[in-house]
Structure 1
Amino acid sequence: MRSRWGAVAAYALVAASTQLLWLTFAPITTDAADHYGVSTGAIGWLANVFPLLYVVLAIPAGMALDRSFRAALIVGAVLTAAGGLVRLIGDQYTTVLVGQLLIAVAQPFVLNAITRVAGGYLAEEDRPKGIALGSAGTFAGMLAAFVTGSMMDLHTLLVVQAVVAVVSAAALAVTLRKPGPFAHASETSGLTAFRSTWRDPFVRRLCALVFVPFGAFISLTTWTEALLDPAGVSADQAGLILTANVLAGVVGSVVIPVWATKRRRELWAILVAVAVTAASCLALAVAPGFALAVLVFTVFGFLLLPALPIVLELSERRVGASEGAAASLIWLAGNLGGLVVSGVVGALVDHPAPAFVLMAVVVLAAIPMLRMLRSDVDALPAVTSGGEHV
């Protein structure tokens, strides 16, 4: 049986569309506030509802994916498209908020499915590539949001994004019309699957690990403009910094996870990413500025964002048929990390140097977790070119 890359490509497009629609207003917050006659804080909530609802819905979405994978994933894609269309019904803030809430509900059903798509439609040796490409799709959606937001007027932007969401949902429905040739039924489902998966110390350690770098990344991207403003970095320059960061992350997510899995260097790759990110934060604490920020955000974006597909691939190799539950727990931990770390750093937003130092300390907390994972990762079966675990 050969891998069916069409399903992975369609999934990556849907994953990208969820992120594209999530961050629609991030690069145009002030203009959108003026257009709808609301505060910038209200516009911020059009994005902030996503991590909040993810924390609430991560486990229910994972349960649905384990019980009826294709149906649950297609529901997520259709809800994403529906949310994009709802935003076009009226030129009002309330209508846009309803659309964002629909997309936020859909997001866990889409993102939690990444390992199930790879496991069901790709041969064993292709799964690390599939997980990496699916993850790269999410980051590509973020990048597209940053780029297109500054290129189009608001109405055109909403129309184009709705079209992308509808087309990607249709493509996914077509490619998932039949079960994957490598699909396997879970021995447990529902809360039982989550309990058994959570009892695995390895999964719990992966969740703790993701909490730290994911939280730091969300915090850095959330507060970039505010933390660098005292150093003379403008809003447009902050947008360029974030664009370089995510673009580098897309490239890194395609390249690094596959390389790390092939050479059994998964934890080493994450360790390098952690060290470089911490050093980047310390450098910005000492000498903040546009040129340095572009450099360090590009470097740590290339290294840090691939940590997520690496962790997801490790979980898939460990839990097998319960990969939906494991992926849900990992995404839940990452979003919790984002909420917690961003909240703490937000209290220091008027003091950039201490805020950057705090994020460096938070990132370095991942190092002892990596050490605890070493023996478990070494015990995992390797993925061979023939598609078997050894």
Structure 2
Amino acid sequence: MTRHARTTAGAGSPSSTSHRGSRWSVVAAFTVVAAANQLVWLTYAPVTTVTAGHFGVSEAAVGWLANMFPLWYVLLAIPAGRLLDRWFKPGLAAGALLTAGGAALRLAGDSYEWALAGQIIVSIGQPLVLNAIPMVARNHLAEKDRAGGIALASAGTFAGMVAAFLLGAALPDAEQLTLLVGLGAGVACAAALALLVALRHPLRTSGSPPGGQRVSVRATLADPFIRRLCLLVFFPFGIFDAIMTFAQPLLEPAGVRADVASVMLLLTVLAGVVSCAFVPVVAARRRRERQILVAGLVVAAMGCLLLAVAPSVPTGFVSLMLIGFVLLPSLPIVLELLGRRAGEAEGTASGLVWLTGNIGGFMIPAAVGLFVHEPTIAFLICGAGALVAVPLLRGLSTPTVVDTPAPQTA
């Protein structure tokens, strides 16, 4: 059995430093980088048909400009986490520079090949950005502020998605495609520069395990608490992705037009951004993470049930916004719990969580897609997935200390 060394967070730890104040400037710059990464990811999604015509390719080919991201994330989630655990600042800087460089590369030529090359580079940087969310909070914020920092950065990722769809709606024509891509590149480059400047500040922690050793992936997975968190995120990730992917065709038989469904989905993400900004903070301060996660899953299941039995425009707006409001905060809540538990293995543990979440984001939508012409069954599958996750939270205690697996050479 793997042994775990229990240490209070920051108390007498070798990673503790004299820097007590919170560096919110670093968190703010990082939040914009995270938002820019998601903005670049979804640049072409709202204008798929226009992009296909502009580049002379199929709509399926344009879909691969976004599909590159989950593909590379599955491949690089763990290596990126390992890199961040050992070299936090260089790893985070690399993620920001890859985001900016890939976004700018798309402007090097007006062709599908240049767009694909840029998207691949940004997708390689994405795990270095998203895996770093809890680490940025731990390394630059006082303990009392960390839940707020994780919540802010998580909300930033979803805000980047909203910005992508808003810009796509504002610039929908083929002759505006270069401007659309250029705006994303400008945001990414400015954000990367701001983060590089902010990273000159010293870390609150050492950023590396004592004695230069690293915690192995096997030792991290040996912690049952971390394993349960990884399994848990499979369901809210997957359910949310399924809803975002198939809500429009599933609601169409109930008289919901495509343009109305688009507004519903935009409001769904906006509701999630708002809730991500404060629900995780309240949960952490009151130590009610488990109760809030359970409540969120139950409410999401009820929303799916309502859509299954009484689909309409009013129930669509109400249910989808509720689902976004209760499901999206599960990510920052889990990342905050992970930060308190994983200690020096935080990057690796975060990579494992994002990995299982992305697997859920593939498998559950695939299952729902099989019933795209049977809306009742499809929505019931989503609701059942939420309820299946509830037992995983039974007996899940909030960690009050950092449980760091005994250092092992990877």
Q: With structure 2 as the length reference, what TM-score do the two structures score?
A: 0.89
Indicate which of 121, 146, 155 corresponds to 2:165.
146
User: Aligned partners of 1:78, 1:312: CA distance in 2, in Å?
Assistant: 24
Q: Secondary structure at the match of 2:347?
A: helix
Indicate which of 189, 198, 215 corresponds to 2:221.
198
Indicate which of 319, 323, 336 corresponds to 2:346.
323
User: Aligned partners of 1:45, 1:237: CA distance in 2, in Å?
Assistant: 26
Report the counterpart of residue 66 of structure 1 in structure 2: 85
Taking only aligned residues, the RMSD between alpha carbons, in angstroms, comes to 1.6
Indicate which of 110, 117, 125 corresponds to 1:98.
117
Report the counterpart of residue 57 of structure 1 in structure 2: 76
Query: Which one has a larger percent helix, Structure 1 or Structure 2?
Result: 1
Q: Is the 8 Å Cα contact of residues 100 and 192 (structure 2) preserved in structure 1?
A: yes
Deviation per CA, 1:78-107, whole angstroms, max 9, x where unpaired?
A: 111111111111221121111111111110
Would you say 1:354 and 2:373 are equivalent positions?
Answer: no
The 4+ residue runs of structure 1 with deviation greater than 6 A are 188-191
Would you say 1:274 and 2:297 are equivalent positions?
Answer: yes
Would you say 1:341 and 2:364 are equivalent positions?
Answer: yes
Report the counterpart of residue 3 of structure 2 in structure 1: none
User: Aligned partners of 1:133, 1:276: CA distance in 2, in Å?
Assistant: 23
User: Aligned partners of 2:100, 2:154: CA distance in 1, in Å?
Assistant: 20
Q: Is the 8 Å Cα contact of residues 66 and 189 (structure 1) preserved in structure 2?
A: no
Would you say 1:222 and 2:242 are equivalent positions?
Answer: no
User: Aligned partners of 1:121, 1:192: CA distance in 2, in Å?
Assistant: 22
Report the counterpart of residue 261 of structure 1 in structure 2: 284
Report the counterpart of residue 14 of structure 2 in structure 1: none
Q: Is the 8 Å Cα contact of residues 210 and 308 (structure 1) preserved in structure 2?
A: yes
Give how far 1:185 is off: 2.4
Deviation per CA, 1:309-358, whole angstroms, max 9, x where unpaired?
A: 00000011112222111111111110011011111111211222111111
Q: Secondary structure at the match of 1:365?
A: helix
Deviation per CA, 1:92-148, whole angstroms, max 9, x where unpaired?
A: 112111111111111000000011110010011110111111101101101111111
Report the counterpart of residue 209 of structure 1 in structure 2: 232
Which amino acid in 1 is paired with 2:352?
Answer: L
Would you say 1:290 and 2:332 are equivalent positions?
Answer: no
Would you say 1:179 and 2:202 are equivalent positions?
Answer: yes
1:154-165 to structure 2, matched below 5 A, reads 154-165=177-188
Would you say 1:136 and 2:155 are equivalent positions?
Answer: yes
User: Aligned partners of 2:120, 2:246: CA distance in 1, in Å?
Assistant: 23
Report the counterpart of residue 13 of structure 1 in structure 2: 32
Tell me, which stretches of 5 or more residues in structure 1 are unaligned? 383-390
Deviation per CA, 1:8-40, whole angstroms, max 9, x where unpaired?
A: 001100000111111112222222222222222
Q: Is the 8 Å Cα contact of residues 146 and 239 (structure 1) preserved in structure 2?
A: no
Give how far 1:303 is off: 1.5
Give how far 1:192 is off: 4.0
Q: 1:7 to 1:355 in 2, by over 3 A?
A: same
User: Aligned partners of 2:111, 2:209: CA distance in 1, in Å?
Assistant: 44
User: Aligned partners of 1:276, 1:127: CA distance in 2, in Å?
Assistant: 27
Q: Is the 8 Å Cα contact of residues 123 and 182 (structure 1) preserved in structure 2?
A: no
Would you say 1:304 and 2:342 are equivalent positions?
Answer: no
| Greater Cα shift, 19-28 or 31-40 | 31-40
Tell me, which stretches of 5 or more residues in structure 2 are unaligned? 1-19, 403-410
Give the length in aligned residue pairs: 379
Give how far 1:229 is off: 2.3
User: Aligned partners of 2:216, 2:142: CA distance in 1, in Å?
Assistant: 24
Sequence identity of aligned pairs in percent? 49
Report the counterpart of residue 84 of structure 1 in structure 2: 103
User: Aligned partners of 1:163, 1:245: CA distance in 2, in Å?
Assistant: 27
| Greater Cα shift, 256-265 or 172-181 | 172-181
User: Aligned partners of 1:213, 1:362: CA distance in 2, in Å?
Assistant: 8
User: Aligned partners of 1:33, 1:190: CA distance in 2, in Å?
Assistant: 49
Computing the radius of gyration from Cα coordinates, the structure with the larger value is 2
Q: With structure 1 as the length reference, what TM-score do the two structures score?
A: 0.94
